[in-house]
């Protein structure tokens, strides 16, 4: 049996997933990060492996168990993630960018622990590369999928990101809702594709969302073959 009915529909396909937060150092003992748990990206990586894919997972620092049968590449900063994502992009058929990448990093990393003083402290930040935007420019006949974390104007913002980054579809995540977002086991998502179709889903477990994403990715990869 071929295709959807097959138990291993992604056999022979390479899937690249990024997951988790990045950490941007301030000094030897401090860093800036976000609330990403990595659960969404890990769920996608595990499901892709269960469907027979050869999976590479580029992971920021998380507390999650290391999945079996998946090549995990650990990274700390957005720039590390960028380097790894760019170097593994060419070989991948499906690329899913679930990571919550820090948009900025402290411009200078202090060599020594910063000492407190009696005054306020300000810090300058430098822009990190937009990994997904760069991957979108490199895209050949691959399927490229992004996420959008929004607290308002969900669909408009997500649509803009999908177009700008040359994605096949984007998973828009309303992180302002209860039972959704970074730490939760569930999410409330809408999926917008490059034709402008919008599908709104009810609250689902991250594993169920992973199923939907991989079903859609499979359909698109078949169209491009
Ligand atoms: N992304 C990325 N590199 C970055 C920032 C974001 O690859 N430096 C990716 C994320 O992995 C996600 C998508 O871009 O798949 C959207 O991330 P998001 O933070 O929602 O959007 P931004 O484009 O960073 O815009 P903003 O944070 O201003 O809303
Ligand atoms: Ca961002």
Q: What is the sign of the dihedral through the CA atoms of 204, 205, 206 and 209?
A: negative
163 is catalytic: no
Residue 2's pLDDT band (cuts 50, 70, 90): low
CA 109/CA 139 separation, integer angstroms = 33
Query: 33 alpha carbon to ligand 1 midpoint, in Å?
Result: 14
DSSP β-ladder status, 143-150 and 54-59 = unpaired
Encode 25-34: b = buried (16+ Cβ within 10 Å), e = exposed.
ebeeeebbeb
Q: What integer best gives the mean pLDDT of the chain?
A: 95
- Please give the backbone phi and psi of residue 139, each rounded to the nearest 5 degrees, phi first: -60, 130
Domain boundaries along the sequence of the chain: 11-108+125-224
Predicted local distance difference test score (pLDDT) of residue 6: 63
Q: Which of 72, 9, 13, 17 is nearest to 45 (CA)?
A: 17
| Beta-carbon neighbours within 5 Å of ion ligand 2 | 103
Condensed to tens digits (0 to 9), the pLDDT of residues 54-113 reads 999 999 999 999 999 999 999 999 999 999 999 999 999 999 999 999 999 999 999 999
CB atoms within 10 A of CB 157: 16
4 annotated to a ligand binding site: no
The question of ipTM being above 0.95 is answered as yes
CB of residue 96 inside a 6 A radius of ligand 1: no
169 annotated to a ligand binding site: no
| Contact yes or no for 180/190 (Cβ under 8 A) | no
Condensed to tens digits (0 to 9), the pLDDT of residues 161-208 reads 999 999 999 999 988 888 877 778 899 999 999 999 999 999 999 999
Q: What is the sign of the dihedral through the CA atoms of 111, 129, 75 and 154?
A: positive
Does the pLDDT at position 3 exceed 60? no
CB of residue 17 inside a 6 A radius of ligand 1: no
CB of residue 99 inside a 6 A radius of ligand 1: yes
Tell me which of 114 and 185 has the higher pLDDT: 114
CB of residue 148 inside a 6 A radius of ligand 1: yes
Lowest-confidence region among 7-11, 42-46, 48-52, 162-166: 7-11
CATH 3.40.50.620 fits 11-108+125-224, yes or no: no
Residue nearest to atom 23 of ligand 1 (CA): 161
């Amino acid at each position: 049996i071929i295709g959807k009915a097959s138990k291993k529909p992604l056999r022979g396909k390479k899937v690249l997933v990024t997951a988790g937060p990045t950490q941007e150092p301030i000094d030897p003992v401090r860093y800036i990060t976000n609330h990403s748990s990595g659960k969404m990206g890990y769920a996608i990586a595990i499901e892709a492996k269960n469907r027979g894919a050869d999976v590479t997972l580029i992971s920021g620092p998380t507390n999650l168990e290391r999945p079996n049968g998946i090549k995990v590449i650990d990274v700390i900063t957005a720039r590390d993630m960028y380097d790894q994502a760019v170097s593994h992009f060419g070989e991948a058929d499906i690329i899913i960018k679930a990571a919550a990448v820090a948009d900025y990093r402290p411009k200078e990393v202090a060599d020594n622990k910063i000492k407190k003083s009696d005054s306020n402290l300000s810090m300058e930040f430098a822009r990190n590369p937009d990994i997904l935007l760069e991957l979108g420019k490199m895209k050949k006949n691959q399927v490229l999928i992004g996420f959008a974390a929004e607290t308002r104007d969900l669909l408009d913002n997500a649509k803009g990101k999908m177009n700008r980054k040359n994605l096949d579809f984007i998973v828009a995540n309303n992180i302002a809702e209860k039972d959704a977002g970074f730490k939760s086991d569930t999410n409330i998502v809408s999926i917008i594709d490059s034709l402008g179709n919008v599908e709104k889903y009810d609250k689902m477990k991250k594993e169920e969302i992973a199923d939907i994403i991989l079903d859609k990715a499979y359909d698109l990869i078949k169209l491009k073959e």
